[in-house]
């Protein structure tokens, strides 16, 4: 069993393949956290310390125990109002507008299999094949009638523990939830670094590592989406932890809306990390009989460095978050029309792209923004999801058939969560947009956000998307979302404090219905590129456009940061033209392909503007990708350099049996009379010998992992190297 309850010690112990997590109900009914680390045995309450902490308050019924205080004891679900002045997971306001609650232990359940969450994405598994189990721990505040269910999902083979919280009102009076977090980890001792993933549009998920000092380090999103600025993931690590060694703990939010993640070092050098819903614009009322479910947090621990931690998360997301036909399938190589045409195209242009795509060996042609309504710029027509037959020169159904007749699949772009003021939809239903009465709205990309907390808006959206997909053989849908939410107001809600949460529940319900109706359609998520790149969206869209920035050198950093928490199979990546449309950089076509293959792989350019030599090279790239696609998608991924600080980006994919390795590197800047550059391999079989297919060299695995593989002089900026290593 993965979960063990010791009635005598009042402990709950969760064992995975390599880790142990333990909590204990203390004599006063408080649930204390004891341990999360390498696999260990026995009751670990000996880790607790009790001392007189001066001005740290005590619970009323423990007042005679001098030194007992929740202000410093490690807790499993800390709440506001107990004398713990560190950041709480839960803040409740009662009918008298008074803050504070006091939760005591009320029971538990252990069940086979992994729990699911009503209306929310969550890790899935089963007890038979995955040995998954669920622990439910119940807490209650009798004064308020507040009942808490702490959910723990355990995937022991992956070293994964998930957490969620259900808040229920079982009393007779309403109360409000002012803050709700899903997971907390209290570590009573240690000196750590915090790794977060910050950025901006076109430069998302750049890793930032800093020493965790006294006070709180907070990241999050107030934007109504998980955001370009901060990804909903963080890692706590030993100062000395690197890719191959050291302790590290991760939290990753399975949610696509606003979030808050905190790391705090307190007065006694204890560390608390926690993650959950954003507090801003959140104040959720619960009437008697109602409940609120927090989104899930995925947790993992590695005592063997960051690479092992990433492998745990990659396997979890690849096999237990992503779903459907394309979860395990190699994705089609696609050509997207955006950087080829932007808004300036017609049906004949799309068909020309399809024919040229077929000649190159591309599988799928995607018609991006500009095909509907009067959409010739981003100022109008969002919401009018009817094909512009005058622009296309035919119906959408006829265009789909023409593309299929050219020998490729057809895909289409859509942004159904948004509306332009200059649109038939807005003129018919202005109250469907989130606009505060009497206030001029904040515009983003000249558009407003539709209110998905409303059932009639959700129903319209579902039918609108179906009306597009039912036009013909559409096999790919790019689902975009190009602005943040600034003005939060629903014209039909009885409480504005719940609108943002209800918006996400509404979006997920539409996506769930579409997945059920169109199981063979590959949906790729997008939000101005990587603004909603999170595990929540991956539950519905098995890949997400990683960034609007397609420059290969910038993508080295963006995809490097992304790799800490997300598998390669989730990363939408394309080869684009040069000079690059985002930053003007010129990089070799070979390098652009090597970097794009570190993802789902595709193209974003006009083949008609390529030379014959370039077309021949592209044909070779596609053939090479298909040869390596299974290894790229399913192999263990290793980061072999840090492109943020090094003059090189390098990575490798290693097959499960370690017999095949694909090692890639890009030297970013070529310099005069350069010193030799080496790339250290990782994940090889110790003691084995490997042959490099490209040049016939036979190298010892241990030497390549210890000293590294020398790279030839680049001779140009952004020169790439691709090596296939075969065990002999």
CATH code where residue 389 lies? 3.20.20.70
C-alpha span between 714 and 672 (Å, rounded)? 10
Structure tokens at 153: 């999902």
pLDDT recorded at residue 448: 98
- Is the pLDDT at 64 greater than 90? The verdict is no
46 lies in the same domain as 106? yes
- Is the pLDDT at 65 greater than 90? The verdict is no
C-alpha span between 400 and 382 (Å, rounded)? 21
Which structural domain range is residue 685 located in?
A: 648-727
Q: State whether the Cα torsion 108-31-250-241 is positive or negative.
A: negative
148 lies in the same domain as 27? yes
Among candidate residues 171, 43, 7, 35, the one with its CA nearest the CA of residue 101: 171
Q: Which whole number is the average pLDDT over 368-396?
A: 97
201 lies in the same domain as 267? yes
255 lies in the same domain as 394? no
pLDDT recorded at residue 33: 98
Q: State whether the Cα torsion 48-54-60-63 is positive or negative.
A: positive
Q: How far is CA 607 from CA 80, 351, 359, 548, 620, in A?
A: 60, 12, 10, 20, 15
575 in any annotated domain: no
Active-site residue 405, yes or no? no
pLDDT recorded at residue 52: 84
CATH code where residue 280 lies? 2.70.98.60
C-alpha span between 641 and 725 (Å, rounded)? 18
Of 320, 351, 380, the position where a domain reaches its end is 320
Sequence-ordered list of residues with C-beta below 8 angstroms from that of 696, at least 6 positions apart, any chain: none
> pLDDT digit string (tens) for 372-381?
999 999 999 9
Q: Which whole number is the average pLDDT over 359-366?
A: 98
- Is the pLDDT at 520 greater than 90? The verdict is yes
C-alpha span between 632 and 236 (Å, rounded)? 28
Q: How many CB atoms lie within 10 A of CB 619?
A: 14
204 lies in the same domain as 94? yes
State the average pLDDT for the chain: 97
Q: Which whole number is the average pLDDT over 605-628?
A: 98
- Is the pLDDT at 683 greater than 90? The verdict is yes
Q: Which whole number is the average pLDDT over 462-482?
A: 98
339 lies in the same domain as 267? no
Residue tagged active-site, from 102, 534, 548, 604: 534
97 lies in the same domain as 42? yes
Of 510, 532, 554, the position where a domain reaches its end is 532
> pLDDT digit string (tens) for 208-240?
999 999 999 999 999 999 999 999 999 999 999
579 in any annotated domain: no
146 in any annotated domain: yes
C-alpha span between 351 and 358 (Å, rounded)? 11
Structure tokens at 456: 């009639």
C-alpha span between 648 and 124 (Å, rounded)? 37
Sequence-ordered list of residues with C-beta below 8 angstroms from that of 444, at least 6 positions apart, any chain: 482, 483, 484, 486
Residue 179, SS3? strand
Q: Which whole number is the average pLDDT over 693-704?
A: 97
* 153 φ/ψ sector (left φ>0, alpha ψ -120 to 50, else beta): beta
Active-site residue 614, yes or no? yes
378 in any annotated domain: yes
> How many domains is the chain built from?
3
Q: What percent of the chain has pLDDT over 70?
A: 100
Structure tokens at 447: 């558009």
Structure tokens at 227: 């955001």
Q: pTM of the full predicted structure?
A: 0.98
Residue tagged active-site, from 26, 279, 614, 642: 614
pLDDT recorded at residue 210: 98
> pLDDT digit string (tens) for 37-46?
999 999 999 9
> pLDDT digit string (tens) for 288-333?
999 999 999 999 999 999 999 999 999 999 999 999 999 999 999 9
> pLDDT digit string (tens) for 634-654?
999 999 999 999 999 999 999
E strand spans, 668-708: 677-679, 689-692, 698-700
654 lies in the same domain as 514? no
Angle subtended at Cα 505 by Cα 501 and Cα 508, rounded to the nearest 5 degrees: 140
Name the least confident of 5-19, 52-66, 336-350, 380-394.
52-66
The radius of gyration of the chain's CA atoms, rounded to the nearest angstrom, is: 27
- Is the pLDDT at 50 greater than 90? The verdict is no
466 in any annotated domain: yes
C-alpha span between 629 and 662 (Å, rounded)? 11
C-alpha span between 42 and 8 (Å, rounded)? 12
Q: At 100, phi and psi to the nearest 5? A: 125, 140
Angle subtended at Cα 135 by Cα 131 and Cα 140, rounded to the nearest 5 degrees: 175
C-alpha span between 653 and 664 (Å, rounded)? 9
Of 479, 504, 532, the position where a domain reaches its end is 532
Q: How far is CA 341 from CA 344, 346, 383, 468, 547, in A?
A: 5, 9, 21, 21, 19
Strands 522-525 and 543-545: parallel
- Is the pLDDT at 63 greater than 90? The verdict is no
Among candidate residues 222, 216, 219, the one with its CA nearest the CA of residue 208: 219
pLDDT recorded at residue 1: 82
625 in any annotated domain: no
C-alpha of 218 from chain center = 18
Angle subtended at Cα 711 by Cα 710 and Cα 714, rounded to the nearest 5 degrees: 155
Among candidate residues 101, 91, 102, the one with its CA nearest the CA of residue 178: 91
DSSP 129-170: HH--EEEEEEEEETTTTEEEEEEEEEEGGGTEEEEEEEEEE-
Q: What is the DSSP letter of 245?
A: S
CATH code where residue 670 lies? 2.60.40.1180
Residue 447, SS3? strand
The distance in angstroms from the start CA to the end CA of the chain is 40
Q: Which whole number is the average pLDDT over 158-172?
A: 98
Q: Which whole number is the average pLDDT over 382-399?
A: 98
Structure tokens at 517: 């109706």
462 lies in the same domain as 419? yes
* Res. 57 pLDDT band, cuts 50 70 90: confident
Cβ proximity of 230 and 208 under 8 Å: no
Cβ proximity of 665 and 650 under 8 Å: yes
Q: Which whole number is the average pLDDT over 504-533?
A: 98
134 lies in the same domain as 158? yes
Number of H helices, E strands in the chain: 14, 39
420 lies in the same domain as 485? yes
562 in any annotated domain: no
110 lies in the same domain as 26? yes
329 in any annotated domain: no
C-alpha of 76 from chain center = 24
């Amino acid at each position: 069993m993965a979960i063990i309850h010791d009635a005598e010690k009042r402990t709950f112990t969760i064992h995975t393949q390599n880790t142990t997590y333990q909590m204990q109900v203390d004599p006063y009914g408080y649930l204390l956290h004891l341990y999360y680390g390498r696999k260990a045995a026995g009751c670990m309450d000996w880790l607790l310390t009790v001392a007189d902490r001066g001005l740290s308050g005590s619970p009323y019924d423990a007042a005679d125990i001098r030194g007992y205080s929740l202000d410093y004891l490690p807790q499993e679900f800390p709440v506001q109002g107990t004398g713990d002045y560190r950041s709480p997971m839960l803040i409740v306001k009662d009918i008298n507008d008074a803050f504070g609650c006091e939760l005591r232990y009320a029971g538990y359940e252990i069940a086979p299999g992994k729990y699911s969450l009503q209306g929310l994405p969550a890790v899935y598994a089963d007890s038979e094949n995955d040995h998954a189990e669920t622990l439910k721990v119940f807490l209650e505040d009798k004064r308020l009638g507040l009942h808490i269910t702490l959910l723990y999902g355990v995937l022991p083979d992956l070293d994964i523990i998930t957490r969620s919280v259900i808040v229920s009102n079982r009393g007779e009076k309403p109360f409000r939830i002012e803050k709700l977090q899903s997971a907390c980890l209290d570590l009573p001792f240690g000196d750590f670094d915090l790794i977060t993933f910050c950025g901006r549009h076109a430069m998302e998920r750049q890793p930032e590592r800093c020493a965790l000092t006294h006070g709180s380090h907070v990241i999050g999103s107030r934007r109504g989406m998980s955001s370009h600025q901060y990804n909903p993931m963080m890692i706590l690590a030993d100062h000395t932890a690197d890719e191959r060694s050291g302790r590290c703990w991760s939290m990753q939010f399975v949610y696509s809306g606003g979030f808050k993640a905190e790391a705090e070092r307190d007065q006694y050098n204890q560390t608390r990390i926690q993650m959950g819903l954003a507090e801003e614009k959140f104040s959720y009322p619960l009437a008697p009989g109602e409940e609120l479910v927090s989104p899930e947090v995925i947790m993992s621990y590695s005592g063997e460095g960051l690479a092992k931690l990433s492998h745990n998360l990659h396997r979890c997301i690849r096999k237990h978050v992503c779903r459907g036909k394309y979860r395990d399938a190699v994705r089609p190589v696609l050509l997207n029309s955006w950087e080829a045409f932007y808004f300036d195209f017609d049906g004949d242009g799309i068909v020309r792209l399809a024919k040229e795509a077929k000649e190159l060996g591309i599988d799928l042609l995607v018609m991006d923004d500009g095909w509907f309504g009067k959409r010739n710029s981003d100022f109008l027509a969002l919401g009018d999801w009817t094909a512009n037959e005058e622009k296309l020169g035919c119906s959408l159904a006829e265009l789909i058939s023409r593309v299929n007749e050219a020998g490729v699949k057809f895909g289409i772009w859509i942004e159904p969560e948004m509306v332009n003021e200059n649109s038939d939809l807005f003129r018919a239903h202005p109250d469907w947009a989130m606009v505060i009465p009497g206030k001029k709205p904040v515009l983003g990309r000249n558009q407003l956000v539709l209110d998905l907390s409303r059932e009639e808006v959700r129903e319209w959206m579902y039918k609108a998307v179906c009306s597009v997909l039912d036009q013909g053989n559409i096999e790919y849908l790019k689902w975009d979302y190009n602005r943040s939410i600034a003005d939060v107001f629903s014209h039909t809600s009885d409480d504005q404090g719940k609108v943002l949460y209800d918006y996400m529940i509404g979006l997920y319900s539409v996506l769930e219905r579409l997945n059920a109706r169109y199981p063979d359609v590959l949906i790729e998520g997008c939000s101005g590129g990587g603004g909603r790149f999170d595990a929540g969206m991956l539950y519905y869209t098995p890949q997400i456009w990683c960034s609007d920035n397609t420059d290969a050198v910038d993508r080295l950093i963006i995809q490097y940061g992304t790799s800490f928490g997300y598998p390669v199979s989730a990363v939408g990546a394309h080869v684009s033209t040069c000079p690059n449309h985002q930053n003007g950089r010129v990089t070799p076509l070979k390098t652009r392909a090597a970097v794009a293959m570190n993802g789902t792989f595709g193209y974003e350019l006009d083949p008609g503007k390529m030379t014959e030599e370039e077309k021949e090279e592209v044909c070779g790239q596609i053939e090479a990708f298909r040869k390596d696609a299974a290894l790229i998608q399913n192999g263990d991924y290793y980061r072999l350099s840090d492109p943020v600080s090094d003059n090189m980006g390098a990575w490798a994919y290693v097959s499960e049996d370690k017999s095949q390795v694909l090692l890639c590197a890009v030297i970013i800047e070529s310099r005069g009379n350069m010193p030799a550059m080496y790339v250290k391999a990782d994940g090889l079989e110790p003691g084995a010998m490997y042959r490099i297919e490209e040049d016939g060299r036979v190298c010892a695995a241990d030497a390549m992992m210890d000293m590294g593989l020398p790279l030839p002089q680049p001779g140009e900026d952004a020169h790439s190297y691709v090596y296939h290593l075969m065990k002999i």
